[in-house]
């Protein structure tokens, strides 16, 4: 059997002396969509930052395609095809949509053609000459996902991509992410919108106080109102 594309093995991560992740185990197979759920402060963003090498684990291992990364940096992860779209949208406000995409493509040897990005996000083509700061929240979010996609990630990690967006925009973005998933894109998605997230995902992990408290099929968690009530409802 192939090694999972991403594997966290008993990962412990700290902020200074504060123990944020406790023995986190997590696997993502090629082609899977995995939801990472949990209340505010549960450790979801910390998990993604640990994977990216922004916050190296104090113990445990992060493996990409079976290879353990000893002291990974975000650049190492990018080279291995792991891209994170962080909570705070990272686009250049003073540059146009097209310039934002070109710059993102620079760090990749074989980037996606911009035309392919515009096929995924037709709205970005319409707005291609607009400066980043004049885009709506939804368009900015599309652009930050597009900046990751242009590097043809093997693994795309989205941290609360629907946060702060109007429901109709959330529906449009959901459709785009669902399309990417159908085309075989491997995705880890963190979301507060549990129902939307579980409709996209194949499997789900629930974190609470930095620990994995649930792991299973997304459709099972959708029916598991007790787990949702204990760990997810506000």
Ligand X SMILES: Nc1ncnc2c1ncn2[C@@H]1O[C@H](COP(=O)(O)OP(=O)(O)O)[C@@H](O)[C@H]1O
Report which DSSP code applies to 132. G
Provide the minimum distance between the beta carbon of 103 and Mg ion in the complex, in angstroms, as a whole number. Answer: 26
Print the binding letters for residues 33-52 with Mg ion: x by CB under 5 A, - otherwise. -----------xx-------
Q: Which two tokens stand for residue 156?
A: 């795309």
Residue 9 backbone phi and psi in degrees, to 5? -120, 110
Provide the minimum distance between the beta carbon of 210 and ligand X in the complex, in angstroms, as a whole number. Answer: 6
CA 207 – CA 192 distance, rounded (Å): 12
Pick 46 or 100: Cβ nearer Mg ion = 46
Residue 20 contacts which entry, ligand X, Mg ion, none (Cβ below 5-8 A, type-dependent): ligand X
Pick 125 or 192: Cβ nearer ligand X = 192
- The runs of H, that is alpha helices, within the chain are 44-52, 74-79, 97-106, 114-120, 122-126, 137-149, 167-182, 194-200, 218-223, 225-231
Q: Supply the Cα-derived Rg of the chain in whole angstroms.
A: 17
Residue 13 contacts which entry, ligand X, Mg ion, none (Cβ below 5-8 A, type-dependent): none
Print the binding letters for residues 21-60 with ligand X: x by CB under 6 A, - otherwise. -----------------x-xxxxxxx--------------
How many residues bind Mg ion (CB under 5 A)? The answer is 2
Residue 41 contacts which entry, Mg ion, ligand X, none (Cβ below 5-8 A, type-dependent): ligand X
Q: Which two tokens stand for residue 218?
A: 């997304």
């Amino acid at each position: 059997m192939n090694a999972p594309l991403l594997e966290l093995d008993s990962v412990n991560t700290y902020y200074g002396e504060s123990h944020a992740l406790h023995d986190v185990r997590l696997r993502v197979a090629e082609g899977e969509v995995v939801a990472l759920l949990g209340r505010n402060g549960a450790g979801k963003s910390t998990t993604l930052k640990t994977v990216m090498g922004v916050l190296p684990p104090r113990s445990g291992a992060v493996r990409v395609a079976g290879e353990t990364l000893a002291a990974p940096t975000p650049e190492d992860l990018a080279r291995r095809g792991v891209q994170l779209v962080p909570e705070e949208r990272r686009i250049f406000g003073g540059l146009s949509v097209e310039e934002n995409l070109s710059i993102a493509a620079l760090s990749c040897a074989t980037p996606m053609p911009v035309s392919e990005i515009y096929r995924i996000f037709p709205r970005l083509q319409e707005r291609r000459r607009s400066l980043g700061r004049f885009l709506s929240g939804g368009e900015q979010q599309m652009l930050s996902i597009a900046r990751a996609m242009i590097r043809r990630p093997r693994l795309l990690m989205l941290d609360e991509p629907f946060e702060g967006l109007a429901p109709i925009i959330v529906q449009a973005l959901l459709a785009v992410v669902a399309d990417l998933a159908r085309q075989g894109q491997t995705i880890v998605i963190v979301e507060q919108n549990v129902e939307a997230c579980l409709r996209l995902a194949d499997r789900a992990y629930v974190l609470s106080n930095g620990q994995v408290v649930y792991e299973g099929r997304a459709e099972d968690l959708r029916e598991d109102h007790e787990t949702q009530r204990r760990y997810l409802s506000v």
